[in-house]
Structure 1
Amino acid sequence: MKYVSIDSVEQGQFLGKTIYSGGGTPLLSAGIQLTVYMINTLNRIGVTMLYIQDKAYEDIDTDDILSDATKQAVMREMNGAFEAIRSGKEWSPKNIGVSVGRILDDVMSNKELLVQLSDIRTAENAQYVHAMNVCLISTLIGINMGMNYSQLKDLAIGALLHDVGKNGQAQASIGDEPKDVKRHHTWRGYELLKNKREFSLLTAHIALQHHERVDGRGLPRGLTGDAIHLFAKIVAVANKYDNLINTLNDKGLLPHEACEELMAMSEQELDHETLVEFTRIISVYPNGTAVRLSTKETGVVVRQHRGLPGRPVVRIVRTNDDEFEITEVDLAKQMTVFIEAVMA
C-alpha cells in the first residue's frame, strides 16, 4: 500500500489501513472500496492522508508495533476515562493499567522494529492516537535506556496520560492557556493523578513536567536540567515529535522534517541524550512513503534498516505493456544514492 494525500484519492480505490473512531471502533475498515461520499466525509472530519492499496506495493506492511486489538482496547478505555473526567465522575485507573500492560506486551514483542506512526487521525480520535503514539515512543526510548519492567510501566502510564489535564477545557495551545500556572493543564493533570493509589507518583510528575524545558523557559515551574525528571524529558521528546507530525495541523511536518526540527531543540527545549535515543527508534521515512532519489527516480519506501533509519529500501516500479518492472534500491548498500525529496 501507499501513503497518499486524500486530494489524490479516487473513487473506487481500496483503503489500506483501518480508520478508528474516538471510541476505538472501526470507522472505515481496511479493504473497503472508497466512494465519493466516503472521501468527502473523511475530508470533512480532518483526514488529510490515507493508506491506499496498490498492486505494485501490495506486500508493503507498515510494521505496526501495536496490534489492532491493542489499539482498539486502549482507545476504548481512554475514551471512557476521559469522558468520565469531563463529566466530573470517577474513572478506573485499573483499566488504564491493563491497557498499558497490553501496550508493553506488544512493544516487548516487537522492540526491534522502528516506530512508524501510521494511524490515521480524525478530529474525533486525535487525542487518543496522540496519547498512544507518545506512549509507544516513550516506552521504546525507555527500553533503549535499559529500564526494567516496573520503570517502563510507570513511564508508559505517565506518557499515556500526560495530557489528561486537558480534559474539561477547550483545546488550546500552550501560549493560549491561563497565565496562572496553577490552571495550566500540566497542573490539572498532576492533581488528577497524584492521589490515584494504583499509580506511582512518578506518573503525576510526568503530567506536571512534560512542558518544562532544559533551559529553564518551560512551564509550569521553569525547571532546568536535572531538576526535570528523566521520564518527563522522554515524554517531552515524544510529545513534541508527535505534535509536529500531526496531520490535522496545517503546519504538520513530514517525519524527516520533524526529526531535524527536534535536533535543533537539543539542550534548549529538549534533553540531548534523550534525543539521541529517539533517533535510534524512529523511522525517518516510513513504509509506504513516496520519495524521489538523487538519481531522479521516484519510488516507495518498502523496508527499514534498524540502526540506519535514514537509509531504507526503496522500490521503483515501471509499467511496460501492463506489466510491472520492479527494481529495489537498498540505500544501506548504495551509499552514493540518497533520498532527495518526499513526494506528498
Structure 2
Amino acid sequence: MLKKISTAALRKGMFVDQFCGSWLDHPFWSRKLFIENDKTLESIVLSSITEVVIDTTKGADVASRPSNCATPDPEPAPETDADPISAAEVPAAGAPAVVSELPVSVALEDEVQRAKAIFRHGKQAVRSMFQEVRLGKALDTEGLRDLVEDMNRSLARNPHALLSVARIKHKDEYTYLHSVAVAALMVGLARAAELDEATVRDAGMAGLLHDLGKAMMPEAVLNKPGRLTDQEFEVMRQHPLEGYKLLQAWQDVPEPVLDVCLHHHEKMDGSGYPERLPAEQISIMARMGAICDVYDAITSNRPYKAGWDPSESLSRMASWQGHFDPTLLQLFVRMLGIYPVGSLVRLSSGRLGVVVEQNAGALLLPYVRVFYSATLKQAVPVTLINLAEPGENERIQAREDPQDWPFKNLERFWMGD
C-alpha cells in the first residue's frame, strides 16, 4: 500500500517510493529508496523534502493510531496528519513528470545559479550511481528522469546558462560531471533539432548513462593523472560494451539509451569503436552522443591538460573529416554559437573580452564583457557591449587562447562569482 507521510515520521526499515518535491531538494539520485541505516534516514530528514510516499508492501508501515481514542494522544504520534493515499493517487512508477508548459525565458545571469544547483546535485547523483554499480546493484532510472526534466526546464528558461556551466569542472570531478554535462548538451541538441519531448528525455538519459561502463574500469586507469598507455587505452575502450551490459540488466531503459551507451565512440567514416560501424548504421541519437561527448571532453580541464577554448574546440571539431555527422555538428554550433559563452575574444578596438550571452539570429554578434586592453597590456573598466546593437562598430577580430594570457577564472565575468 502507498502512503504519503511527513519525513518526520520516517523510520529505518521503510521503503520510500517517491519524494514529494523537486529532485533538487533531496540528496539521492533515485526516487525509490530503502532506509537501511541512520545515515540515510538523517539525510532525508535534514533535506528540504517535507513529505514522501512509502510502500508498505516493501518496507515498514507507520505506527497505527488506536481506533478507539476519543481524544488526541498526549504525545505526538509518529504518523503525519496527511491522510494515506491510494495507489491510484500516486504517479505510476517510472512515469515521467508531466509538464503542462515550459517556463518563460530569462536572462543568462538569472539562470546560472539554478544551473549550478542542477550540476551540484547531478554530480552527487552520478557519483552515487557509480558507487552502487560497483557494488553490483541493479538500479532503476527514475531519479535520473527528474534530473533530465530539470535540465529541460533550465534550457527552456535560457538555452545557454546550463550549457555554459557544464564546462566548469575541477580536474578531480571530471568522471562524474562529464556525464551530467553530456546530458545537458544532449537535451540542448535534441531541443535544437525540435525532437518530441519523449525523445528529448531519452537524449538526456542517454547522456547521463553513456559512460556508465567506466564504473567497471580499473580505478588506477580511470583516474590516472596522465596520458594513458596504449595498453591502458585498450582497457578503456571496453567501457561502451561494459556499460551496455550493465544497462541491459536494468529495468525500463529505453532502446536509444542503450544505443548511445554502446555506440557514442563510433565515427562516420567507420573508424570508431567498439563495432566500427559505417555511417548508415549509426543512429541519429548515437551521432548526437558522439558530438556532445567529444565537445565536453576537449573543453574540460583534465589532470594532464587544460581544456580548449569553446570556440576553438568547435573549429577543430569541424576540421575532423569523417568523425561527426556534419549536419548535426552544424546544428550543434548554432546551438552554442560561433563564439560560445565563455569564449575569450579580441575586438577590433584591441580590447579583450569574454562572451557572456548570444544574440538570437546574429551568431557573430554576441554580448561581450570587455575587461582588458591588449594594446596597453592593462585592465580597462569592465564594460558590457552588445555587438548587435544598432550603431555599434565593434566586431570580433579573433579568438584568443586564455593560456596565452595571465587571466584567472574568466568564468567570473558571466557566472557572477
Q: CA deviation at 1:117?
A: 3.6
Q: CA deviation at 1:336?
A: 6.8
Tell me the residue number matched to 2:168. Answer: 120
Correspondent of 1:213 among 267, 277, 281: 267
Deviates more, 1:292-301 or 1:154-163: 292-301
Check the 8 A contact 2:155/2:161 in 1, yes or no: no
Check the 8 A contact 2:353/2:370 in 1, yes or no: yes
2:156 aligned counterpart, secondary structure: helix
* 2:347 equivalent to 1:262: no
- The aligned amino acid for 1:77 is A
Correspondent of 1:282 among 322, 336, 348: 336
Q: Provide, for residues 70-128 of structure 1, a one-character-per-residue CA deviation record: whole Å limited to 9, x for no partner.
A: 22332222111111112223334222233223222323333476832455322332122
Check the 8 A contact 2:343/2:354 in 1, yes or no: yes
Tell me the residue number matched to 2:395. Answer: 337
1:61 aligned counterpart, secondary structure: helix
Question: CA RMSD of the aligned region, Å?
Answer: 3.4
State the distance in 2 between where 1:140 and 1:288 align: 17
Check the 8 A contact 1:165/1:186 in 2, yes or no: yes
Tell me the residue number matched to 1:197. Answer: 251
State the distance in 2 between where 1:174 and 1:214 align: 26
Q: Which has the higher contact order (CA 8 A, sep 6+)?
A: 1
Q: CA deviation at 1:206?
A: 0.6
User: Residues 90-239 of structure 1 correspond to what in structure 2 (within 5 A)?
Assistant: 90-111=138-159, 115-117=163-165, 120-169=168-217, 170-171=221-222, 176=231, 184-239=238-293
- The aligned amino acid for 2:252 is E
Check the 8 A contact 2:366/2:388 in 1, yes or no: yes
Q: Taking every aligned residue pair, what percent have the same amino acid on both sides?
A: 23
TM-score normalised by length of structure 1: 0.71
- The aligned amino acid for 2:171 is A
Q: Provide, for residues 193-246 of structure 1, a one-character-per-residue CA deviation record: whole Å limited to 9, x for no partner.
A: 123222112211110000000100000011011201111100100111111111
Q: CA deviation at 1:66?
A: 5.5
* 2:129 equivalent to 1:81: yes
Deviates more, 1:309-318 or 1:147-156: 309-318
Check the 8 A contact 2:154/2:162 in 1, yes or no: no
Q: CA deviation at 1:174?
A: 9.9
Query: Structure 2, unaligned stretches of length 5 or more?
Result: 1-27, 30-106, 374-379, 403-417
Aligned pair in 2 of structure 1 residues 308, 76: CA closer, same or farther (>3 Å)?
same
Aligned pair in 2 of structure 1 residues 327, 287: CA closer, same or farther (>3 Å)?
same
Aligned pair in 2 of structure 1 residues 165, 106: CA closer, same or farther (>3 Å)?
same
Higher Rg of the two aligned structures:
2
State the distance in 2 between where 1:225 and 1:251 align: 31
Check the 8 A contact 2:111/2:157 in 1, yes or no: no
- The aligned amino acid for 2:177 is V
Q: Provide, for residues 286-344 of structure 1, a one-character-per-residue CA deviation record: whole Å limited to 9, x for no partner.
A: 5565532232123343432123344222344589xxxx866554333557722324262
Aligned pair in 2 of structure 1 residues 174, 284: CA closer, same or farther (>3 Å)?
farther
State the distance in 1 between where 2:229 and 2:272 align: 10
TM-score normalised by length of structure 2: 0.60
Correspondent of 1:314 among 326, 345, 368: 368
